[in-house]
Structure 1
Amino acid sequence: MTAPLTPHEEPPGDPSHSPPPRQGADGERTGAAKVRQAALVTVLVALSGAVLGALWLWLAPHVLLVSDGKAVYFKNSEGEEAIGADGVFVLLALGFGVLSGALVFLVRRSGGIPIVVGLALGGLLGAVLAWRLGGWFGPAGDVAQHARRVGKGVVFDAPLQLRAKGALLVWPVAALAVHLGLTALFGPRDPEPGENAMGVPFGNGHGGPPRG
């Protein structure tokens, strides 16, 4: 015969008294991984701004200037050409925003706030990089010096400028709109109340609690 268990004795291997799983460390690792992925998205999207800057420099219409030896004048009407440069930047930024938003969704379909923030920040930095590169590698910024160098009566290009600074927001806004739209349509959804993680209602004989 065996002695009855005392209140302080427990049978070995009782699963009801096993310590709860440590989920805090797993959550921290998952959060850190998402932050690293968001940082990578920011860097890659921002670096693609160099391509946008090169395309803007290539496709934007040039504003032509000419000097009479004393002053510099616009050779043609300046308004349409300047507006055209802004319009080309907006269209290119819109395309880059749609493309980057779709690519990030396809690569990281699970989404998450860090990914969304990284995408928006990368789009803004990419637009700023494109704007600066277009100015740096475009025609000389010192118009007076350039006019003296080319000489009187010689037509030359004005510096490439982005007059509407609000165009810098087109890329991040378009990227967020596309990414959030695709996530809403095709992303993983949370289970509805009364469903398990697989989307199966409880109590139907497929993993739900037994019926009384």
Structure 2
Amino acid sequence: MSGVVVRRAERLGHVAPGPRRVATEIAGVCVVAGLALGVLWWLLAPEVTGVVVDGALAVDAAEGQKLFGRDAVFSLLTAGFGLVLAVVFGVRHWRRPVTVLVALALGGVAGSYLATLIGGVLGPSDDVSGLENSTEHAFALRMESPAGLLVWSTVATVVLAVIALFREDRAPWAVPGDPTGR
């Protein structure tokens, strides 16, 4: 291995995982995180009740604000998930920054979408067909703002960019035999 800087871990036989393994690991974690996010959203989102009017649910202004609160809770949860996963995988797989970036961006959208599906299944039904007028009924738990599905990916991308700014990695450009990398 002349001309190549070998790190201690590589001398001991520890090799960095390949891009396929890194992407698979991140995808698996994003699926599990999406399931957990859906359950958390269902538990933490405010319940919005409406009144049945001519076979449809009507909402007053006070309850309408809670619809925004549902999207806000979802966005804050996904921002937290994006932050944590970006830090964990940005540090864990520092040799594969592009793979981590792409996998977290795609996994974030997929995890957010999965969370909305899980929240919708666990939340109340939107079927009001058999109810009389003036009957109160809860609104179905659904994401009203499609942009909320991108929060996880956006936060993860920004955090990975910040990590890349502060990471000093000169190993690929190091002169053989120079431990400082200059």
Query: Please, what TM-score do these two structures have when normalized by structure 2?
Result: 0.78
**Residue correspondence of structure 1 range 1-212 to structure 2 within 5 A:** 33-67=18-52, 72-74=57-59, 77-145=62-130, 148=131, 153-186=134-167, 188-190=169-171, 195-196=175-176, 198-201=179-182
Number of aligned positions between the proteins: 167
Q: Which moved more, 1:126-135 or 1:59-68?
A: 59-68
Shift of residue 128 of structure 1? 0.5
Shift of 1:200: 4.6
Q: After the TM superposition, list the runs of 4 or more consecutive aligned residues in structure 1 that deviate by more than 6 angstroms.
A: none
Displacement of 1:165 in angstroms is 0.2
Which consecutive unaligned segments of at least 5 residues does structure 1 have? Answer: 1-29, 202-212
Q: Distance in 2 between matches of 1:40 and 1:181?
A: 22
Aligned CA distance change for structure 1 residues 189 and 79 (closer, same or farther; 3 Å): farther
Gaps of 5+ in 2: 1-14
1:140 partner SS: coil
Q: Secondary structure at the match of 2:137?
A: strand
CA 1:117–1:155 in 2, change beyond 3 Å: closer, same or farther? same
Instruction: Give 1 or 2 for the bigger CA radius of gyration.
Output: 1
Return the alpha-carbon distance in structure 1 between the equivalents of residues 58 and 81 of structure 2: 35
1:80 and 1:190 map into 2 onto residues whose CA distance is 53
Q: Report the alpha carbon displacement of residue 187 of structure 1 after superposing the two structures with TM.
A: 5.2
The higher-RCO structure (CA 8 Å, 6+ apart) is 2
Structure 2 CA distance for partners of 1:72 and 1:87, relative to 1, 3 Å: closer
Larger mean CA deviation between 126-135 and 109-118 belongs to: 109-118
Residues 84-112 of structure 1 deviation map (CA, whole Å, 9 limit, x = unaligned): 11111111111111011011123212233
